[in-house]
Amino acid sequence: MRGRFITFEGIDGAGKSTHIEPVAEQLRASGHTVVVTREPGGTPLAERLRELLLNAPMDALTEALLVFAARRDHVQQVIAPALARGDTVLCDRFTDATFAYQGAGRGFDSAVLKTLESWVHAELQPDLTFWFDVSAEQAAERLAAARTPDRFEQQDATFFSRVSDGYRVRAETYSQRFVRIDSSVDRDAVSRQVMTALAGRCW
């Protein structure tokens, strides 16, 4: 049987990444074989494209093409084989991020993104998507304390409000697989929401 595909999404500073390993541990404890990966990235080629995406100036179409080029390699080399083996795949961001960042954030044509999506992974969609929802202002405060910003993290709060709206639309459209996590609260409270949602799936 095909394994489960679980993705983690949210604007920069939403705090999603710290919750992936605990979810992996929980699933391993219940007997699942778990692959943890991320986008852009997850293969040597896609990690090289990630470096470019996060640092090199480029226009929105180039950005969209590189994101999907990285995804193509990642799906073929890592995600699809793992799911075919029956493993559970936990992925830090996937195509919802492209609709949120390149689509809503950059204002790039979502019809083109849909076409690229259908070329790259037509039949493959996540089974569950955790959306870590936090205001653009709170996310910016967290980021300011954290690290040197990359090309996306340098964007202003209005950009992240648009990205957030993009995620909201995705969550409404794909309400079956989206679980909204209130990420404005402290880390333990966020973690409890994630674990409760996971337990509710009985995997």
Residues that bind ligand TYD (CB under 6 A): 12, 17, 39-40, 67, 92-93, 97-98, 101-102, 152-153
Torsion sign across C-alpha atoms 75, 117, 3, 203? positive
- How far apart CA 106 and CA 109 sit, in angstroms, is 9
Whichever of 5 and 152 has its CB closer to ligand TYD, that residue is 152
CB 75 within 8 A of CB 120: yes
- How far apart CA 56 and CA 51 sit, in angstroms, is 8
Which residues contact residue 174 at a Cβ distance below 8 angstroms, ignoring those fewer than 6 apart? Answer: 96, 129
What H or E segment, with its residue span, contains residue 140?
helix 136-146
Whichever of 93 and 177 has its CB closer to ligand TYD, that residue is 93
Whichever of 4 and 74 has its CB closer to ligand TYD, that residue is 74
The DSSP 8-state label assigned to residue 15 in this structure reads -
Q: How far is the CB of 169 from ligand TYD (least distance, A)?
A: 15
The pairing of beta strand 88-92 with beta strand 5-10: parallel
Whichever of 135 and 203 has its CB closer to ligand TYD, that residue is 135
Q: How far is the CB of 153 from ligand TYD (least distance, A)?
A: 6
Q: How far is the CB of 29 from ligand TYD (least distance, A)?
A: 25
Whichever of 37 and 102 has its CB closer to ligand TYD, that residue is 102
- How far apart CA 65 and CA 29 sit, in angstroms, is 38
Q: How far is the CB of 90 from ligand TYD (least distance, A)?
A: 13
Q: How far is the CB of 91 from ligand TYD (least distance, A)?
A: 9
